[in-house]
Every structure is written in structure tokens, then in C-alpha cells.
Structure 1
Amino acid sequence: MTGRLRAPTGRYGGKSAAQRQAERRRRFLDAALQLFGDTPGYRATTVAALSDAAGLSTRQFYEEFRTLEDVLAALHLQVNAWAEDAVRTAAEGTRDLPLPERAAAIFRAYAADVTADPRRVRITFVEIIGVSPRLEEQRLARRARWVDLICAEARSATERGEAAPRDYRLGATAFIGGVNGLLHDYSAGWVDATLDEVVEELVRQLLALLRPPGWSPAAR
């Protein structure tokens, strides 16, 4: 198939073609969150099963997507966008707080959003792995976006005199890998800790990255 089938145009049932298309897409993504993020998982889901779960037809599927991989790609970006919205809201609301309190609020918001629905965890940390070179590139690009966010926070903290001046990209990359691993293990029940304890550990690690031994705000 070289492209999607052409969707109908014009108004129907009081909704424009664009509104109907957006609703169909949402229904497919909602169904994918359930099937990919729970049972049977992405690799065992068919177009027919996804369409049935969405209450739509396979023809309507091909009007919105080319393949199931396209659905997984869109869902992966959506789950990350939800988490990023939560983080940016927390960051905006804590702009004037000291670094430890600000970091705690940001990671509490991120962890709460990601772990609130186990299906999101599975999409982000399990189902996306090893699907194709295209999705691996997307996963790494999305992770790089989180690294950029950490680096931006580090630069701001440095400008305020709350963090040591250095290039944080390598450290932030390692830190994000730890965040992903710890939250996945927590969600899978492999970590004997509360979510608050998980967040406290992540904040300690971030502060250790920003304030290495021998450096303190007073030392500047």
C-alpha cells in the first residue's frame, strides 16, 4: 500500500470531516493503548483486532494509518507528550523555588504521570523496544528530548549559582537511562519502595550530578 485511503469530506452528524477524522484517530489510539499496553501486546495485535476494539472498520483504519507500527509510533509520542506536559507544568509552577524543591516537584510530576497507568509504562519502556530501526530512532530521539530538558534545567541552575558549571549532556544521558530503568522496575513490582521513595532517590541522584563532591553554592 502506497498511502492511506482517502477519507470522506464534508459534514456528517454535525461534525466536519476533520473532526470525524480526529475522533477516529483518538479511538484507534485509545484502543491501541489497551491492546498494546496490556493484553495481547503490540506484536500479537492485528489490524482487525484493533479496529474491532476501537469500534471501527479496517477500512477506517487504513484511512488513518498505513500500518500498526504507525499506530505504535503515534502512541509512543502521545504518552511522552503527556509526561512532558506534566513536567513543564510543574516546572512553571516551581520557577522560584530552590533547586532541591524544584527538582522534587518536577520528578514527582513526571513519575506520577508515567506510573499512573501501567499501560503507558509498557508502551514507553517495553513495546517500543526492538520493533524496527525507524522506531528505535524515534525512541532515541524522544529520549534525547528528555536529555535536552535536563540540560536546560542544569544550565538555569548554573546561572542561578545552584549547580556546578560544566557540560551536562553525558551525565544527563546516563541519568535519564537510570530514570527509565527505575520507573520501569517500580511499575513492574521489582522495586520494594513507594513512589515517593523512588522520586526521592531520583532527586538525590540528580542533585549529586548537579552538585559534585567539593562544590557547593557557597563555594562560588
Structure 2
Amino acid sequence: MTFQAPKVAKTTADEQSTGAAFGRVYSGLRSEDRALERRGRLIEAGIEVFGSIGYAASKIKTLCQSAGLSERYFYESFASREQLLTSVYDHLSSELMRQVVQVLRVPGRTLTESVRAGMATVVNFMLDDPRHAQIIMVEIVGVSPELEAKRHQSMTDFAAESSQLVLLLGGVNPKVAANSDSVDDSLADVLELARLTGVAMVGGVNNMILDALRGGTSANTKQITEAAFQLICNSSTGVRVLAGN
């Protein structure tokens, strides 16, 4: 996966002559767009360096060499290595969530087909390029309280998506349940069970991926996907029973 800077339209001679309004133009790119392109290269370098030699062993000089940029351009975009690591983590996490949501919304699939596709997307994103799993599950851990809070929020977001799937598989419409005027004790129990199951699902899948990463079995994506799929299907049985469906 590569970081894509936005496409920039070609500028005319007249537009270049009015560079004071839009920023100076070099090789068809305004200075702002060149800075954005350099930022993208540094994020790609962060994926490579943090995902291979690790955050603790990395140096700004190494990151700049990987990006093909001088150190002054590093500080144009980032105040520190940690700030770059934060941007790399945000980039990977948001891209993973985007891909998961996209496959879950593909029309014409049954619910179970969509759930299986979602699980496969997570596993493949992490293990087809093991740098992703290394950064998201290893390098980010314990760096700072701010990054720990960000990591927890990201896991909470994925757990919320998982709990929605658990409810659907258990025969409960999450939108109807969430918009109910009065949530009685039985429905509250169902929603809390689904929430906790979502949290457990994220932890379980993360540990399977980490086990594959550490054990050298990252090619076992089909088996890990199937195990994750069975986990969420079996977990939804408790929701179904509690909901009386």
C-alpha cells in the first residue's frame, strides 16, 4: 500500500505568474502540494523503517534516507519521530477501517458472506504486508500515554464494528435497538453482551495475528480468517439466546 498525495492540476503560465496568491509553483506543483508530497514520502518511509527495524532502533537520518529527503524536510512536516509514528499509525488504522467498511457494504452478499469478507480484509491487511501488523500491534505499544490512548480508541472503534456484526448475526437489528425509546433490562443485557463480545473479538483476532507474526506463520491467512469467522459466529449464539431469537 502506498500513500497517495492528491492529484494536482497543471497550472498555466498566468496561474504561475500569480503565485503569490497560491504559493510558488515548481515543476507544475505549488509549494503546498510539494510539501504534502514530501509528507507522504515520509509516511511511506515510516512504514518501511518502523515496520522493519522498529521504532526504538530508528533514527531521523534513516527515515530521511528512506524517503530520499534531507532532514530539514522532515521537520517541515513532523516535530519528532513520535509524531511521524502517530501519523503512520493513523494512516494505517484509517485505511484498514476504510477497507473493512467498504467490503461490508458490497451489495448482493449474505450477512455471513459479508462478515467473512470483513474478517479476511483485516487479516490480509495485517499479514500480506507484515509491516502493518508490526507497527499497529508492536511498535505503537508503550511509546507514550498519548499513543496508548490513541491505540485504545482505535481498538474501541473496531470493537464497536464487531459488536454490530454480532448483533446482526444474533438476529438483533443494531439500529433499531440503538434508537429504541426505552431500553429495558433485557435489551440492555443484549447490547452489553454484544459490546463485550466485540471487545473480545478484537483482542482474539489481534492475538492470532500477533502469534502469526511472531511465529513465522503469517502466510496462514486463510486459516486465521476462518478461525476469526467461527469465533464471531459462535459468539453471536449467546446474543441470539439472550435476545430470545
Which category describes the TM-score, using the shorter chain as reference length? Answer: 0.7 to 0.9
Report how far residue 103 of structure 1 moved.
1.4
Q: Choose 191-200 or 177-186, whichever is displaced more.
A: 191-200
Contact in 1 for aligned 2:162/2:201 (Cα 8 Å):
no
Q: Deviations over 1:122-174 (max 9, x none)?
A: 000100011010110110011111012112333444129xxx96121122112
Report how far residue 55 of structure 1 moved.
1.0
Take 1:124 and 1:116, find their aligned partners in 2: how far apart are those partners?
Answer: 14
Matched, 1:87 2:100: yes
Take 2:219 and 2:67, find their aligned partners in 1: how far apart are those partners?
Answer: 36
Pick aligned residue for 1:62 from 60, 75, 78? 75
Take 2:108 and 2:166, find their aligned partners in 1: how far apart are those partners?
Answer: 13
- 5+ residue gaps, structure 1, are 1-8
Contact in 1 for aligned 2:127/2:218 (Cα 8 Å):
no
- 5+ residue gaps, structure 2, are 1-22, 175-185
Matched, 1:49 2:75: no
For 2:48, the equivalent position in structure 1 comes to 34
Take 2:107 and 2:214, find their aligned partners in 1: how far apart are those partners?
Answer: 30
Pick aligned residue for 2:222 from 192, 196, 199? 196
Could you tell me the percent identity over the aligned residues? 26
Take 1:184 and 1:201, find their aligned partners in 2: how far apart are those partners?
Answer: 14
Pick aligned residue for 2:147 from 135, 156, 172? 135
Q: Aligned AA for 1:111?
A: V
Contact in 2 for aligned 1:94/1:102 (Cα 8 Å):
no
Take 2:124 and 2:211, find their aligned partners in 1: how far apart are those partners?
Answer: 15
Contact in 2 for aligned 1:95/1:102 (Cα 8 Å):
no
Q: Aligned AA for 2:127?
A: T
1:137-216 map, 5 Å: 137-157=149-169, 158-159=172-173, 166-167=190-191, 168-189=194-215, 194-212=220-238, 215=241
For 1:12, the equivalent position in structure 2 comes to 26
Matched residue count:
206
Q: Choose 168-177 or 117-126, whichever is displaced more.
A: 168-177
Q: Deviations over 1:152-208 (max 9, x none)?
A: 333444129xxx961211221121111111011113336598321111111111012
Q: Choose 103-112 or 192-201, whichever is displaced more.
A: 192-201
Report how far residue 61 of structure 1 moved.
0.7
Higher Cα Rg: structure 1 or 2? 2
Report how far residue 67 of structure 1 moved.
0.5
Take 1:24 and 1:193, find their aligned partners in 2: how far apart are those partners?
Answer: 33
Secondary structure of the corresponding residue to residue 105 of structure 2: helix
Contact in 1 for aligned 2:60/2:71 (Cα 8 Å):
yes
TM-score, length of structure 2 as denominator length: 0.76
Pick aligned residue for 2:129 from 117, 124, 128? 117
Take 2:86 and 2:204, find their aligned partners in 1: how far apart are those partners?
Answer: 23
Pick aligned residue for 1:73 from 86, 92, 95? 86
Matched, 1:23 2:37: yes
Runs ≥4 residues deviating over 6 A: none
Label 1:122 to 1:57 Cα distance change in 2 as closer, same or farther (>3 A).
same
Take 2:112 and 2:46, find their aligned partners in 1: how far apart are those partners?
Answer: 38
Q: Aligned AA for 1:150?
A: S
